[in-house]
Amino acid sequence: MSLSAGSEFPKGVKFAYVPFQEEQQGVLACGIPIPYDTDKKFAGKKVVIVAVPGAFTPTCTANHIPPFISKLAEFKAKGVDQVIVLSANDPFVQSAWGKALGVKNNDIIFASDGNAAFSKSIGQTLDLTDKGLGIRTSRYAIIVDDGKVVYNEQEPGADVSVSGADAVLAKL
């Protein structure tokens, strides 16, 4: 299935994440993963999903995700309720990565697309098997407004352009 502007976000999609908790803000603190049910969480909300090949990787950590964090107020001003940073990494790694990047709230969720299942279903994966990393989420961004896809773009190469914070802000 391909997602395009105007289409409904698929039903039944669930990610896993560890909600931020003040008492567990250390990178080594392990919370309990819970499901993020998009059917429930997206209702009446504007959500940005930004997907990356891997937590703690150079481009994702240095260039791709920090602008989403530093420009959160701009996203909020444009009506975004939540930003989801999505990767095929497990929810524990995603949680630690969010903490390492200084996220201290649940306005930005670092969620796991286990086995890249969702990304596979929409045809947006990256095969890094030759590097020993398996199938990963590709680098893409999706804007969902009350269950409808407003924007969905996958990076054509290794650079951050169509899935970067500025590109997404321009589409809100």
Looking from the CA of 172 toward its CB, the CA atoms found within 13 Å total 25
d(CA 42, CA 147): 6
What integer pLDDT is reported at residue 43 of this predicted model?
96
In this prediction, residue 29 carries a pLDDT of 83
Structural domains of the chain, ranges and CATH numbers in brackets: 14-19+31-171 (3.40.30.10)
Among 102, 24, 40, which residue's Cα sits nearest to residue 65?
102
R_g of the chain, CA atoms, integer Å = 15
CA distance 36 to 58: 27
Distance CA 113, CA 86 (A): 6
CB atoms within 10 A of CB 125: 23
Q: pLDDT for 100-134, tens place per residue? A: 999 998 899 999 999 999 999 999 999 999 998 88
Instruction: Name the active-site residue from 48, 60, 65, 142.
Output: 60
Identify which of 154, 147, 165, 167 has the alpha carbon closest to the alpha carbon of residue 2: 154
The answer to whether 68 touches 108, Cβ cutoff 8 Å, is yes
Instruction: Please report which confidence band the pLDDT of residue 45 belongs to, taking 50, 70 and 90 as the band edges.
Output: very high
Which pLDDT score is estimated for 1? 64
pTM: 0.94
Instruction: Count the neighbouring beta carbons within 10 Å of the beta carbon of residue 15.
Output: 25
Residue 2 has pLDDT above 70, yes or no: yes
pLDDT bracket for residue 64 (50, 70, 90): very high
Catalytic residue flag (residue 60): yes
Instruction: Answer whether residue 145 shows pLDDT above 90.
Output: yes
pLDDT per residue as tens digits for the range 69-85: 999 999 999 999 999 99
